[in-house]
Structures are given as C-alpha cells and as structure tokens.
Amino acid sequence: MEYSIAHLSVPGSPDAASLTFYGPDHAHKIHPQERFPAVLICPGGAYYFTSDREAEPVALSFLALGFNAYVLRYHTSPAARYPVPQLEAAAALKWIRENADAHQTDPDRLFIAGFSAGGHLAASLGILWKEKAFSDALGCRPEAFRPTGMILGYPVITSGPKAHRGSFENLTGGDEALKESLSLEKRVTPDTVPAFVWHTRTDESVPVENSLYLLCALAENGVPFEAHIYPKGVHGLSLANALTASPNNPQQIQEECAEWVRKAADWVIKEHWRDR
C-alpha cells in the first residue's frame, strides 16, 4: 500500500487542503497496464470537522475491493465557508485526473464518495459540476473535475424542514438565500452524474427524507441511481462494523448496513454510467 499527500490551494482557503492517496503496492510491476477505478472520499462532520471514522477505514475498504482511494481533508467552519470545500473537492478531482498515470488511476472511472455533510459536498460536485464559478476559480473546463458518479452515505441534501441545520449554518454562515441555493434536491438536472445512495430509516440526525428527496429528483431528471434504505441504524455508521464503531457504542455496528461497500463496488463494476 502506498501513501502520498498532495496539498491543494484554492481561492478563499486559509491554507492548503490535504489529499492522501491509497493504492496497491507495486501495482506498476505486477499489472503495469492496469488502470484502477478510483474513489475520492469526503468524510462527514457537519462542515465543522472531518471525521476520522469516515476517512482512512473507508479508503482501505475500497482499496481491498480493487480501487485506488483518495481522502480529502477539506476546510470547515469557522475557517472556511462555501464555496471553499466545494472548490477543494473540485481541485482534488482535477489533481487526480492530472496525476492518473502516476497512480494507475482510470480517469474515466473516478467517483466521489461522501458521508453526512461530506455527502452534501460529494453531491455538490455530482450535481453542480457545471457551475461556471467553479471552473473560473480553478482555471479549467468543468469536465476536469466532473466525477464519473457519486457514492453517498446518509447524505445531507435538503435545507428545508428535514435539514441538518448545523451543516448548513456552518457551510453558509447563516445566509438564507445561499442555504436555499444549496438545497441540492432542487438543483438536480439531466447533467447530474449517476448515484449510489444509502441511508437508514431511523437516522435521527439526518432524516432519511434527505436521500428520498434526492432520489425523486434523480428519477424526474432521468439520472441513473441505485439506492438502499435500511430499516435500522443510527447516524454516522461509516462502515457499520467494529472497525469504525466508536468505543462503547455498539449501535454503530449494523451488520445489514455493512454490505453497502460491496454493493457500491458492484455498482461501479456494472458501469451504469457508460451510456451517458
């Protein structure tokens, strides 16, 4: 397993965000022509911090399933507000594509994954990738940072009645018009990238309606998706197993939900996006 860190600077950021790469050891010797699918992981944390539980353990799980994995430590409140995290995620996708050969990453199979508020960040790139402000800030065409698809775990989506208020306060600083514009179920278009979404019905922090609103919008716009709504599970499950459960918190172990990683990998392998 190889690790390397890139430092990404974007307009408005107090300093550089970090991007960590996880890839198979000696792949260039064993499979020199191979190009691996890749996932950029955006940990959650209400746009106030980035969760360790949703970072390296998730990267290692995808690595074990044949992916290259990258973890983005983006800036959060109060140091940064919108659009800094979104620009950092866009810059990370752009950097991964520019360095794809060095890591044997397939630039046409580059997915963005996120959890909770990190799910909002990932979905922002999957939905708003054509935003001119993003491409202008990074000085490139939007295709440079368009993800192939998005993998969303219990994502923050709506700023409406079912919102996770803290995430939107931290991202926008309380700007009501900006909150409304970042209610992502209202921003879906036919150009939105395909999605894999999972959530639990009993999530009390980010209600399941966040995912349901998104899925309805995807369906209305003809965007392919796969969704799994599990009957039980607290918020912040991550891998939903003992590896990512907090000490003395057995509620974060939910065997049925733990299948999501394999299902997401299978979804990628099926190549749902190739006809888009």
**Structural domain total, the chain:** 1
Band (33; pLDDT cuts 50, 70, 90): confident
256: domain range?
Answer: 2-275
pLDDT computed for residue 2 by the predictor: 65
What are the strands of the beta sheet with 195-200, ordered from one edge?
2-8, 17-23, 68-73, 36-42, 105-115, 149-153, 195-200, 225-230
Is it the case that residue 28 has pLDDT exceeding 80?
A: no
Can you give the pTM of this predicted structure? 0.96
| Tens digits of residue pLDDT in 56-113 | 999 999 999 999 999 999 999 999 999 999 999 999 999 999 999 999 999 999 999 9
Share of the chain above pLDDT 90, in %: 90
Q: What CATH number did the domain enclosing 250 receive?
A: 3.40.50.1820
Q: Is the pLDDT confidence value at 25 over 80?
A: no
Q: Is pLDDT at 42 greater than 60 in this prediction?
A: yes
- Which residues are 181's β-sheet partners? none
